[in-house]
Structure 1
Amino acid sequence: MKRISVFDTTLRDGEQTPGVSFPINYKIQIAKQLDKLGVDYIEAGFPVASKGEFEAVKTIVNLDLDSKICGLARIVKEDIDSALDSGVDLVHIFISTSKIQIDYTIKKSREEIINDSVEAVEYIKDHGRECMFSAMDATRTEIDYLKEIYKAVEEAGVDIINVPDTVGVATPFRFHNLIKELREHLKVPIDVHCHNDFGLAVANTHAAVLAGADQVQVTVNGIGERAGNASLAEVVMILKSLEGIETNIRTEYLVETSRLVERFTGFRLPPNTPIVGDNAFSHESGIHAHGVIKEASTFEPGVITPEMVGHRRRIVIGKHAGRHQIKKMLEDAGYIVNEEDLTKIFEKVKELGDKGKKVTDLDLFTIAEVVIGELRKEDRAIVVDEITVLTGNKITPTAVINANVFNDSRVKSAIGVGPVDAALKAVRELVGETIKITEFKMDAITGGSDALAEVYVTVEDDSGKSFTARAAGPDIVMASIDAVINAVNYLMIKKRLDSKKKEKSED
């Protein structure tokens, strides 16, 4: 099968997500990440929208990326000139073609719309740039008129035709038929842009490719106007894993890219998000976990692995956990348990789960230590002696931690955007290793100004090993530090145990 081109519009349509606005430094970082990911086109913005938008697009053009850079423009000379002046490789022009939009927005005759579109394409081509033409609201446009305007711009020299489902009303079968009919009518490459108002953006994009579309428009995490656009990760992995259709995307960077955009938008993905969500390769059910431990493809698609997308597989403990997975997690952490002790640990985990508690790795190991009488407090990697946190109206939040790390006395400090951020950065400085906090949640578990805060964290080391822990207390800074240190303690102990096992095996 032919290779499909990927057109990413995170910086344009994605930024139209209500509540999202990327400052120029964010746009630069996202553009560089998209280039690293391997997208063919980056729609960097709408240059005429503002002076800042123009400068952002121009700056991205000057990054000299491998991806081609695109700028959006209405079929208005001022818009097109702004895009051309920004230096983009591709000018993406659009005009409404559906009856409802013609009647209520642009109020031009259909002949005028075609003539203006042709003139715009010719103007862009005369300036030596690539041109993409979009018939806005194509899926609500009469098919005969759609064919007429697309044929007119094709004859004018357009490079790519875009078929946008602007208001997200297409369905896969109808969209497949539309693209198939247009494919038979046109010679130029066809690109599709699908919105997710009915949750069908990815399905419609998939159907369009099977019908003959050459290029897909997507956004990272599916962000965009209203309910968003087709998700880059989902579209690419459906094409690759289920259809055997290749793209230029380096899929091992999908999760990394998703996390970057998640952080810059402030919109946290639901854990059950396909491909890149926290739970995409996580298993709690005992039956599923047992099968996955034996052979991953028993309860995963098989045609996709976590490593393919830069993810990791997790076995999660909860009330649905099975004895086999609990025993495996304990053994991996260096705990040797007999069947009698395993039964007690298993029952205690179920009891916690039935109370609605999220059972962390630390909870499991604490239960195990109590049951088998092997409390490891003397083996803790980090023992905190003193913590000082400074914050205030005119004070940069600063944390200083005095602690013993494997019996080595250390004092470390860090600044942050707030007291909790500063404290967590100080902990990272303390251990002197690459420790990432991949999940941080906080809930008030009692009412009032002296409410107890419960903090839940997941930390990960540079090898990809992760550990979950929780802590609670009236001081949110101290609860946060306790939770992180609890998790880091076990990660560091596990690292030492693994190192000792390796040394023994080599001997």
Structure 2
Amino acid sequence: MQEIRLSNKTNKLELDPYSYQLQDVESPELFREMFPYTETPKIAFNYRRVPENMPEDIFITDTTFRDGQQSRAPYTMEQMVHIYKLLHELGGPNGMIRQTEFFVYSEKDRKALEKCMELGYEFPEITTWIRANKKDFEMVKSIGVKETGVLVSCSDYHIFHKMGLTRKQALDKYLGIVSDCIEAGLRPRCHFEDITRADFYGFVVPFANRLMEMSEQSGVPIKIRACDTMGFGVPYPGASLPRSVSGIIYGLQHYSGVPSEMLEWHGHNDFYKGVVNATTAWMYGASAVNCSLLGIGERTGNVPLEAMVFEYASLRGHLNGMNTKVITEIAEYISKETGYEIPPMTPFVGENFNLTRAGIHADGMLKNHEIYNIFDTDTLLDRPPKVSVNSTSGIAGVGYWINQYRKKKGLEPVDKKSPLVRRVYDWVQEQYDEGRITIISDAELTRQTELAMEAE
């Protein structure tokens, strides 16, 4: 029976011609036309576009201590506590980094969680990710955590091939787990694993409908995290489900009534779409995007948290209290204290992200930083733009490097035509004339600059 109702979002009468019910199929729906496995995955279009619906309140959640630890050596307890403090400082007083999640399987993780809770920060709120059983629920509750993640895999790849269940069996199991979580006095956060390969109308929507019914009956908010586990999501308008990010977010809101504040996107970067998919989720109705610091995570990684800081500022025109200079401090800490090597070209945090090598670029930097620097990286990230000196840097590149050195020493800048710059430049040219092929190190340039200054 068709139903006409007044939407509290659009304030218009809307016709819902169909109420989606669980489709308990006998064989798994693997969408082989999109995911042939022996070929590149396909992106299909049906040209159905859904309206943008960006929430008033959008924010970031963090998985550095959960997903971020699954692809690297585990952090020590001391490192986790220090990074948590930095997340608090980065997120600012308005809690832009709203939550962070911890494992609680090991004694080390539990101690780190307890130490972080003792700090008494409102943000990021500490949550957990646990195995779906009553023992773990009770353990988390005893620690004082109020929300926990629960894995509820949604695609037939997982339901049939990993768990060996039917859709109805999986649905019943998941609902029982969520009920146990609520009974234990916790807020459930349901991780809809592999949603971008799931039967959206045959399983995802009916499952979300049941969760929203449970939430209404219990009075306990139930959060849905839409997990693009394999990075198959696409941001393109008119793309078909199950790969359409906008379609997933719109569908969960329109067909299942999931409020924006209970809707979260968790993406991976397998096809280089992690950041744009997260932004798309924001734009179409999800309040939260789940990220990890430096993008460290399973396989190609999660959505980099620092990227979404700047996405937020780009979309809203302000940082809402976030302290972006802490991003540099975080990157330096993780690199130095844990031995993690940040690829040098990584935006915002890589050693070379605001470094130029070409001489013509260095000449532009000497005249005006805006010509070749993406924004005032000195002010926002405590990272002044740099140049590297090599065979193509020219006298402008050498001059720029020398002036950055003199600025650190509290000395006045010099013109690129000055004798000081000429002396160092001539030394650089001699190196390459003699067959050198590597860049000139900062230590070498420091030595030659100091010798040239002494000779003046």
Name the TM tier (shorter chain). Answer: 0.7 to 0.9
2:234 paired residue among 163, 167, 171: 171
Query: Does structure 1 retain, via aligned residues, the 8 Å contact 2:268–2:274?
Result: yes
Corresponding letter in the other structure for 1:190:
L
Q: Contact 2:159/2:170 (CA < 8 Å) preserved in 1?
A: no
Q: How many angstroms does 1:28 deviate by?
A: 1.7
Which segment drifts farther, 31-40 or 288-297? 288-297
- Per-residue deviation, 1:127: 4.3
Contact persistence 1:22–1:264 (CA under 8 A): no
Residue 80 of structure 1 contacts residue 124 of structure 1 at CA under 8 Å; is this kept in 2?
yes
Q: Deviations over 1:395-442 (max 9, x none)?
A: xxxxxxxxxxxxxxxxxxxxxxxxxxxxxxxxxxxxxxxxxxxxxxxx
227-236 or 50-59, which deviates more:
50-59
Structure 1: distance between partners of 2:293 and 2:436 = 37
Of residues 101, 108, 118, the one that matches 1:43 is 101
The worse-fitting range, judged by mean Cα deviation, of 61-70 and 181-190 is 181-190
Query: Distance between the aligned counterparts of 1:283 and 1:217, measured in 2?
Result: 32
Determine whether 1:249 maps to 2:307: no
User: What does the per-residue CA deviation read over 1:92-128, in whole Å, with 9 as the maximum and x for residues that have no partner?
Assistant: 1112121011112222332233333333334433444
SS of the residue aligned with 1:156?
A: helix
Gap regions ≥5 residues in structure 2: 1-53, 92-96, 216-220, 237-243
Please, which moves more after superposition, 212-221 or 59-68? 59-68
For residues 195-246 of structure 1, the C-alpha deviation after alignment (integer angstroms, 9 at most, x for no partner) is 1222322222122222222101111111112221111111221231366475
- After the TM superposition, which residues 425-440 of structure 1 pair with which residues of structure 2 at under 5 Å, given as runs? none
- Which residue in 1 is equivalent to 2:308? 235
The residue number in structure 1 matching 2:73 is 20
1:238–1:318 distance in 2 versus 1, CA, 3 Å: farther
What corresponds to 1:290 in structure 2? 363
Q: Verify: 1:204 aligned to 2:261, yes or no.
A: no
2:34 corresponds to: none
Amino acid at match of 2:379: E
- Residue 321 (structure 1) aligned with residue 393 (structure 2): yes
Partners of 2:360 and 2:173 in 1: CA distance: 62
For 1:131-142, what aligned pairs fall within 5 Å after superposition? Answer: 131-142=188-199
- What residue number does 2:137 align with? 80
- After superposition, the C-alpha distances for 1:433-476 in whole angstroms (9 at most, x for unaligned) are xxxxxxxxxxxxxxxxxxxxxxxxxxxxxxxxxxxxxxxxxxxx
Within the candidate set 345, 349, 356, 2:428 is matched to 349
* CA distance 1:322–1:80, change in 2 (3 Å): same
What amino acid is aligned across from residue 444 of structure 2 in structure 1?
A: D
Q: Residue 380 of structure 2 aligns to which amino acid in structure 1?
A: M
Q: How far apart are residue 80 of structure 1 and its match?
A: 2.2
Larger strand percent: 1
Gaps of 5+ in 1: 377-507
Contact 1:291 1:298 in 2 (8 A): yes
* Partner of residue 161, structure 1: 224
Contact 2:211–2:222 (8 Å) recurs in 1: no
In structure 2, relative to structure 1, the CA distance for the partners of 1:362 and 1:98 (3 Å cut) is closer
CA RMSD of aligned residues (A): 2.9
Distance 1:320 1:365 in 2: 19
Contact 1:138–1:166 (CA under 8 A) maintained in structure 2: yes
CA contact 1:6–1:247 (8 Å) conserved in 2? no
Aligned length: 371
Contact kept in structure 2, 1:95 and 1:134, CA below 8 Å: yes
Q: Distance in 2 between matches of 1:240 and 1:60?
A: 28
Question: 2:384 is matched with which residue?
Answer: 312
Range with greater deviation from structure 2 (359-368 or 225-234): 359-368
Task: Give 1:296's aligned amino acid.
Answer: H
1:295 CA displacement: 2.5
Moved more, 227-236 or 356-365: 356-365
Aligned to 1:479: none
Measure, in 2, the Cα distance between the counterparts of 1:31 and 1:281.
Answer: 27
Could you say which structure has the greater relative contact order, defined with CA pairs below 8 angstroms and 6 or more residues apart? 2
Is 142-151 or 277-286 further displaced after alignment?
277-286
Q: 2: CA distance between counterparts of 1:228 and 1:351? A: 44
- 1:399 counterpart residue number: none
Deviation at 1:277, TM superposition (A): 1.2
